[in-house]
């Protein structure tokens, strides 16, 4: 018998680097999950992601059928193709889940997000903020003499771009809803 010489701090030799040769290219997928709107259903979905170490980039949820009590959860996640498949299979296993749709592979989808952006500024900056807001087709939903709150709808990238422009002009608060998505066509 001999002691094994395990080098100090050798924890990089993790069990998990012995995985087989699945593709390791990460993909971003938008999933729509139709669920019974019952107590704890969102906790089940979120618990699945945290418990199994999956990523959530964005999450939205609301009841979409008040009579049938079903909700639609839209999740944007990143992972290797194998992980994405595993996420879908694991979601499908949850008892109150009716169906899981991968909008990224089921054809093209419309994805939209809404954000409220508050900008505090005066003078030239205030004029410039309003001008840019107009270009981005936002709505002004609240204004004072030294602030605007803009409502902007679009893709994540559009909202990112607008927020980046507002930052030097006095962006003070930003609230985003996360992505809602539907497949294109019938």
H-only helix segments in the chain: 41-51, 81-93, 123-135, 156-166
The dihedral built from the CA positions of residue 72, 50, 154 and 100, taken in this order, carries a sign that is: negative
Using the rule CB under 8 A, give the single segment among 88-96, 101-109, 116-124, 142-150 that binds other proteins.
88-96
Point out which span in 9-17, 116-124, 133-141, 174-182 binds other proteins (CB under 8 A): 9-17
Interface with other proteins (CB under 8 A), residue from 24, 26, 28, 47: 47
Q: Which residue in the set 9, 11, 67, 186 belongs to the binding site for other proteins (CB under 8 A)?
A: 11
- Show Cβ contacts of residue 128 under 8 Å, excluding neighbours closer than 6 positions: 169
**Is residue 169 within 8 Å of residue 129, measured between CB atoms?**
yes
- Residues contacting residue 176 through CB under 8 Å, at least 6 positions apart: 113, 114, 115, 159
Is residue 9 at the binding interface for other proteins, with CB under 8 A as the rule?
no
Distance CA 129, CA 124 (A): 9
One of 62, 64, 89, 141 touching other proteins (CB under 8 A):
89
Query: C-beta of 4: minimal distance to other proteins in Å?
Result: 6
CB of 66 vs other proteins, minimal distance in Å = 18
98 binds other proteins (CB under 8 A): yes
Among 24, 27, 54, 93, binds other proteins (CB under 8 A): 93
51 contributes a contact to other proteins by CB under 8 A: yes
Distances (CA, A) of 32 to 49, 51, 113, 179: 15, 20, 15, 10
Q: Is 25 in the site for other proteins (CB under 8 A)?
A: no
Total interface residues for other proteins by CB under 8 A: 36
Q: What is the DSSP string of 119-166?
A: EE--HHHHHHHHHHHHHTT-EEEEEETTEEEEEEEE-HHHHHHHHHHH
- State yes or no: residue 186 binds other proteins (CB under 8 A): no
Binding site for other proteins (CB under 8 A): 1-7, 10-11, 13-15, 17-22, 36, 39-40, 43-44, 47, 51, 82, 85-86, 89-90, 92-96, 98
């Amino acid at each position: 018998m001999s002691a094994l010489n395990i080098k100090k701090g050798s924890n990089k030799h993790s069990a998990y680097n012995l995985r087989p040769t699945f593709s390791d290219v990460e993909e971003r997928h938008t999933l729509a999950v139709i669920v019974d709107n019952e107590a704890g259903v969102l906790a089940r979905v979120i618990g699945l992601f945290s418990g199994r170490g999956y990523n959530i980039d964005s999450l939205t949820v609301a009841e979409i059928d008040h009579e049938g009590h079903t909700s639609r959860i839209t999740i944007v996640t990143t992972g290797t193709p194998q992980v994405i498949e595993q996420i879908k299979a694991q979601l499908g296993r949850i008892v109150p889940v009716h169906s899981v749709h991968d909008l990224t592979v089921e054809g093209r989808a419309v994805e939209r997000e809404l954000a409220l952006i508050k900008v505090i500024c005066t003078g030239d900056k205030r004029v410039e903020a309003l001008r840019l807001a107009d270009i981005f087709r936002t709505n002004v939903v609240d204004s004072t003499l030294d602030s605007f709150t803009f409502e902007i709808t679009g893709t994540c990238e559009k909202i990112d771009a607008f927020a980046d422009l507002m930052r030097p002009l006095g962006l003070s608060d930003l609230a985003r809803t996360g992505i809602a998505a539907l497949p294109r066509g019938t």
